Chains A and B, each alone.
Chain A
Amino acid sequence: MTDLIIPLKKITEAHKDISGGKAWALSRLLQHGIHVPEGLCITTHAYRTFVNETGLDNRILMEMNRKSFNEMRWEEIWDLSLRIRNYFLSTSIPPWIRKTLKEDLKKRFSNVPVVVRSSSCSEDSAETSFAGLHESFVNVTGEESILQSIKLVWASLWSDTALLYRRELALDVKKSAMAVVIQELAEGQRSGVAFSINPLKKNESIVESVWGLNQGLVDGSVEPDRWIISRENGEILSHKEPSLRDITIVAAEKGTASMKSKNGEIKKPPLNRDEVKDVFLLSQKSEEYFGSPQDVEWTFRNNDLFLLQSRPITSISGEDDNRQKYLSLKVSFDELKRLRFKIEQELLPEMDREADNMTTLDIQDLDDKDLAVEIRKRMDILDKWNLTYTRDFIPFAHGTRLFGRFYNDTMSPDDPFEFVLLLKGTEMKSLKRNNALLGLARRLKDDPELRGKLEMGQEIPSELKEQFNSFARDFSLSSGETLESSKKRAARFILEMSALSEQPLRGTSSNSDLYNSFISHFQDDGERSLALEYLDLGRASWKLRDDDNIYLAAIENEVNRAILEGKKRIDWIRSMPSSELTGEDVSICLENHNYQPVNRSSVSPLDNSSKRSSAAFFRQATGQPASPGTGTGKARVIRNKGDLMAFKKDEIIVCDAIEPDMTFIVPLAAGIVERRGGMLIHGAIIAREYGIPCVTGVPGAAEIIKEGSTVTVDGYLGIVIVEN
C-alpha cells in the first residue's frame, strides 16, 4: 500500500488532509464500530500525481484562464467543464499509478460490484457542503471500469455546478483536489436518509425510506415514506406516506435502473416501527461521534443496517442552501423525457394555436377600446410564454448536454463537441424559413424580368408575392419600420442573397459514418436502444433550442402588430419616436386620448452589453471556438434589427447575440462574432448548420470592433483578428 490508496479501516489522523471529507468520516465511523461497508480511499495524492505527471494540471489552468471566469455565462462554464472532462477521459493514468491502484482494487474487489464516490477536500465540512455536486457511480464491476469511474469522479471536481459553487464560495479552484471512496455495493432492499436533527425543528429527527436503493430518493425522483421522531425519547411522532410507491431503484447489470415496484411493496412502508428506531439511533450515534448534527445515508441488506455515508447538516436554521441552485442545473434523463413530451405534445401546439388565433383576428376592425383590451391580452399571452420559455424550454436544452456527455463517455473523442455533428441536420424551423428565402433569391437570379420588377417595386407573381410580403411583414414587426420601407429593404436584401443561389450550403453534409461508428459501439441490444434514446432526446433538444425562439417570435410579432396598429391610430403619438412607447402606454392612450405617457429613453435589446471604450485598438480578441473554419470580411455591426437588411454578402456579423429572427442573414456571412458565449447557443448552432466560422463570447464584441474594419474570424482557435 502506498499513500495513493488506503483502506478505510487504516486511515489515521495523518491521512486526514489527503482522504477528503467523505472517506475521513466513513473511516472514523468504521473504526468506531459502526456498520459501514468496507472499502478503499484513493487519496488526493493520487489525484495530484495523476494531473501533475500527465500535464493535465497545466492544460486545465490554460482552459480556466482562457477568459476571465467572472465574464463567463453558465453556458460557457458548461462548455469549459465538458472540455476538461474530456481531457480526463482521454488521458491515460501513468503505468506505475495504474499498477498500484489496479493491484489493490483487484485484491479487494475482484468481480465485486462497487460504488465509486467523490471525497473532495473541502467537501462535507459544515461550512461548505458539496453534497450532490460531484459525481458518484453505483454498481461498477472490474478494475478497468472502476479506474474509468475514478477518472470521471476526478473530472467532476471541474463540473459546471462545482465550478459555479466554488466561485460563489470564493474558493480557489487551483487548490482543489479530489479523493475517491470505493466501497463494496451494499445492495440493500430498503434504503434511505436520516437527519439526526430536523433542520426546521431542533427537538425532532427525520427518517426517510424507499424500497430498493436510495439513488431515487437522493435525486428526488422517488418519493419516500417519512417519519418524524422525538429526539428526547425516540418516539415516532408522525408517519407520512408517499402518494405512490410505484417506482423502485435497483442495481442493473451496470449502474442502476428504475423498475415498477413489486405488488407487496406498493402498499407497505419499507420500514416497521422498530426499524425506524434503529435508523434513528444510527443517526444519533453518528451525531454523537462527530459532535454535530448529521445527514446520514443508510441501507438494510437482509435485515443488516449499514451506514453508507454521514455528513454535517449545513443549514439547521432552514435557510436557503445556495447549493440547491446549482443542483437544479442537473436534470435527469427521465425528467427530460417527461419534459419533451410536455413540450412537443402540449406546449408547442398550444403556442401555434395561440399565434394562429391572433393572426386571424382582424385587428383593424376593432374599435379603440377593444384594441386596447386586445393589446393587453396579447402582452399577457407573451408574458405567459416567456415564463414557459424559462421554466420548460431552457431546462430542455440539457437534453443536448446529456447526450454530449453520454457520447463522450462512450467514444472518448478528441473533440469534446464532436457529438454536435450527430445532432445537426434535423429540420429546424429557421433553416426551413431561410431555405425558402434562398429559393426566392434563386428564382430572381434565373429570371431577369422578375428581378427588374422587384428592383422597381412593381407587381410580382402572386405565389412569390405572398412569401415576399410575409418576409417584409415580419421584418417590419420586429424592427418597427413601416411596411413600405421594409418592402424596399427586403427587396434589396433578397437581390443581395441571389448572389448566393448557386452555392450549396456548406454545413449540411451527412454524418452517417459517425452515426454508424457510434451505434456499432454497442453490442448489446438493450444498450444500443438506450444509446438511440439518448440520441433522439439530444436531437429533439437541439432542434427545440432553435425552434422555440421561432415559436416565441411568432407570438411576439402578433403583439407588435397590435401595438403598431394602436400607434397608427393615435395622431399625436406620430410626433414622438414610436420606440419610446410601451404596449401598456399604447393601451392607455387608446382608452384615454389625453393621456401623456412618461418619456422613456429607448434601449435596444441588442445593445445591452456593458459599455467598453478604450484608447486601445483591439487587434485580436479571444472568445470560444463555436464553429470551425476561418473567414475574412468587413465587419457589419448589428446594433438593432433595422441594421439587418443592410447586410451584404461576405461581411462578418458582429453583434451582441444572434436572435432567431436575425438568422436569415447568416447564409450570406463570411463569419460571425458574438458577445454572448457558448458552443450550444443559438448563433453557434446556426453557424455550424451553415458551416460558417463563428467565435462566441468575445467581451464587448460590438464595441471593440468598428463597423467596416476588416475582420478575420478563426473558428478553430476561437480568436478574432481585426485589421487597423
Chain B
Amino acid sequence: MGDHTDNISEEINQILRSRLTAVLATQGKEGPWTTLVSFSASEDMTTLWFATSRVTRKFANLNWNSNVSMLMDTRTNSVSDLYSASALTSIGHARELHDTERENALALMKEQHEYLSAFLSSPTVAIIQVNIRKYILVTSFQNVREVTVHD
C-alpha cells in the first residue's frame, strides 16, 4: 500500500471492513480507560457503532465525557508489524441511541456480529453511536495522514 497516494478512503475502508474489534478509549473521573469492543461502521465511514452494558465502566465514562477515540489495526504480533501494519485512530463524539435509531443500528450489528446476538438482544445493553470527527492513519511505522470527517 503506497503511503502518499490518494487512496486513503480505500485504505480506511479496508481496515474498517476487515476488523471485528476495536480498542475503545474513554475518559472518566479516574482517568483514561481502554477496552475492546465489537463494532460496525456505516458505509460512508462517518459513523461507528458498538454495544455495551449500561453497568460497565465505559458506559459510566461516556456519561461523564462523551468524547471517545477508537483504534483499529492490522497487527499480527510480529516484528514486521512495525513496517507492514496499519493503525487507524478515530476520534469522535458518542451518544446512546434510542427507538428507531437504536433498532436500525442493532439490526446492522446483529448482521455483522451474529455470534453476539444474545448479548445484543439484552435490554440492559446500550447501543452507542460515534460520530467521527477525524481519522488518523499510520502506515509504514511513521507515516501519518489525517482526514477530517466532521468539523
Write the residues of chain A forming the contact surface with B, with a CB cutoff of 8 angstroms: 58, 61-62, 65-68, 612-622, 699-700, 704, 717, 719, 721, 724
**Within the assembled complex, what's the spacing in Å between the Cα atoms of A719 and B143?**
8
User: In the complex, what's the smallest C-beta–C-beta distance from B10 to chain A, in angstroms?
Assistant: 11
User: In the complex, what's the smallest C-beta–C-beta distance from B16 to chain A, in angstroms?
Assistant: 16
Q: Point out the residue from B8, B140, B146 that lies within 8 Å of A66, measured CB to CB.
A: B140
B140 x A617 contact (CB < 8 A): no
**Within the assembled complex, what's the spacing in Å between the Cα atoms of A621 and B148?**
18
**Within the assembled complex, what's the spacing in Å between the Cα atoms of A614 and B137?**
13
Chain A residues with CB under 8 Å of B143's CB are 620-622
The residues in B between 75 and 114 inclusive whose CB is less than 8 angstroms from any CB of A are 79-80, 82-84
> A62-B82, A620-B142 in contact; A614/B4 too (CB < 8 A)?
yes
A617 x B79 contact (CB < 8 A): no
Cβ contacts A to B, 12 pairs, < 8 Å: A58-B79, A61-B79, A61-B83, A68-B2, A612-B5, A614-B6, A617-B147, A618-B4, A619-B144, A620-B143, A622-B141, A704-B4
A65 x B140 contact (CB < 8 A): yes
Chain B residues with CB under 8 Å of A65's CB are 83-84, 140-141
B137 nearest CB neighbor, chain A only: A616
B145 x A68 contact (CB < 8 A): no
Given A618-B145, A620-B144, A621-B143, 8 more A-B residue pairs with CB atoms under 8 Å apart are A61-B79, A62-B79, A62-B141, A65-B141, A66-B83, A612-B4, A614-B8, A616-B8
Cβ of B9 under 8 Å from chain A = yes
Cβ of B45 under 8 Å from chain A = no
A613 x B146 contact (CB < 8 A): no
Chain B residues with CB under 8 Å of A704's CB are 4
Chain B residues with CB under 8 Å of A614's CB are 4-6, 8, 145
Sorting the interface of chain B by its residue count into under 10, 10 to 19, 20 to 34 or 35 or more gives: 20 to 34
A65 nearest CB neighbor, chain B only: B83
B6 x A612 contact (CB < 8 A): yes
B147 nearest CB neighbor, chain A only: A616
A621 x B147 contact (CB < 8 A): no
B83 x A62 contact (CB < 8 A): yes
Chain B residues with CB under 8 Å of A62's CB are 79, 82-83, 141
User: In the complex, what's the smallest C-beta–C-beta distance from B130 to chain A, in angstroms?
Assistant: 20
Chain B residues with CB under 8 Å of A724's CB are 146
Chain B residues with CB under 8 Å of A615's CB are 6, 8-9, 147
Write the residues of chain B forming the contact surface with A, with a CB cutoff of 8 angstroms: 2-6, 8-9, 79-80, 82-84, 136-137, 140-148
User: In the complex, what's the smallest C-beta–C-beta distance from A71 to chain B, in angstroms?
Assistant: 8
A617 x B6 contact (CB < 8 A): no
A622 x B146 contact (CB < 8 A): no
Chain B residues with CB under 8 Å of A58's CB are 79-80
**Within the assembled complex, what's the spacing in Å between the Cα atoms of A613 and B9?**
13
B147 x A699 contact (CB < 8 A): no
User: In the complex, what's the smallest C-beta–C-beta distance from B61 to chain A, in angstroms?
Assistant: 27
9 shortest A-B CB distances, which residue pairs? A65-B83, A620-B144, A616-B145, A619-B144, A616-B8, A58-B79, A614-B6, A617-B146, A622-B142
A617 x B142 contact (CB < 8 A): no
**Within the assembled complex, what's the spacing in Å between the Cα atoms of A613 and B148?**
16
**Within the assembled complex, what's the spacing in Å between the Cα atoms of A619 and B143?**
8
Candidate in B6, B83, B142, B148 with the most chain A CB atoms within 10 angstroms: B142
**Within the assembled complex, what's the spacing in Å between the Cα atoms of A613 and B82?**
26
Chain B residues with CB under 8 Å of A616's CB are 6, 8, 137, 145-147
User: In the complex, what's the smallest C-beta–C-beta distance from A669 to chain B, in angstroms?
Assistant: 23
**Within the assembled complex, what's the spacing in Å between the Cα atoms of A550 and B146?**
41
**Within the assembled complex, what's the spacing in Å between the Cα atoms of A620 and B140?**
11
B145 x A617 contact (CB < 8 A): yes
Chain B residues with CB under 8 Å of A621's CB are 3-4, 143-144
A622 nearest CB neighbor, chain B only: B142
Candidate in A67, A612, A618, A700 with the most chain B CB atoms within 10 angstroms: A618
Chain B residues with CB under 8 Å of A617's CB are 145-148
A700 x B79 contact (CB < 8 A): no
**Within the assembled complex, what's the spacing in Å between the Cα atoms of A65 and B148?**
28
User: In the complex, what's the smallest C-beta–C-beta distance from A66 to chain B, in angstroms?
Assistant: 7
User: In the complex, what's the smallest C-beta–C-beta distance from A624 to chain B, in angstroms?
Assistant: 12
**Within the assembled complex, what's the spacing in Å between the Cα atoms of A620 and B4?**
11
A70 nearest CB neighbor, chain B only: B2
Candidate in B4, B6, B146, B147 with the most chain A CB atoms within 10 angstroms: B4
User: In the complex, what's the smallest C-beta–C-beta distance from A720 to chain B, in angstroms?
Assistant: 10
A611 nearest CB neighbor, chain B only: B6
Chain A residues with CB under 8 Å of B148's CB are 617
**Within the assembled complex, what's the spacing in Å between the Cα atoms of A619 and B145?**
5
Q: Point out the residue from A61, A612, A622 that lies within 8 Å of B80, measured CB to CB.
A: A61
B82 nearest CB neighbor, chain A only: A62
**Within the assembled complex, what's the spacing in Å between the Cα atoms of A62 and B142?**
11
Chain A residues with CB under 8 Å of B82's CB are 62
Chain B residues with CB under 8 Å of A612's CB are 4-6
A68 x B83 contact (CB < 8 A): no
**Within the assembled complex, what's the spacing in Å between the Cα atoms of A613 and B145?**
13
User: In the complex, what's the smallest C-beta–C-beta distance from B90 to chain A, in angstroms?
Assistant: 14
User: In the complex, what's the smallest C-beta–C-beta distance from B136 to chain A, in angstroms?
Assistant: 7
**Within the assembled complex, what's the spacing in Å between the Cα atoms of A67 and B140?**
8
**Within the assembled complex, what's the spacing in Å between the Cα atoms of A496 and B99?**
65
**Within the assembled complex, what's the spacing in Å between the Cα atoms of A43 and B148?**
54
A698 nearest CB neighbor, chain B only: B4
**Within the assembled complex, what's the spacing in Å between the Cα atoms of A704 and B140?**
17
**Within the assembled complex, what's the spacing in Å between the Cα atoms of A619 and B148?**
12
Chain B residues with CB under 8 Å of A622's CB are 3, 140-143
B139 nearest CB neighbor, chain A only: A622
A66 x B3 contact (CB < 8 A): no
User: In the complex, what's the smallest C-beta–C-beta distance from A174 to chain B, in angstroms?
Assistant: 10
Chain B residues with CB under 8 Å of A68's CB are 2-3
Candidate in A67, A614, A616, A704 with the most chain B CB atoms within 10 angstroms: A616
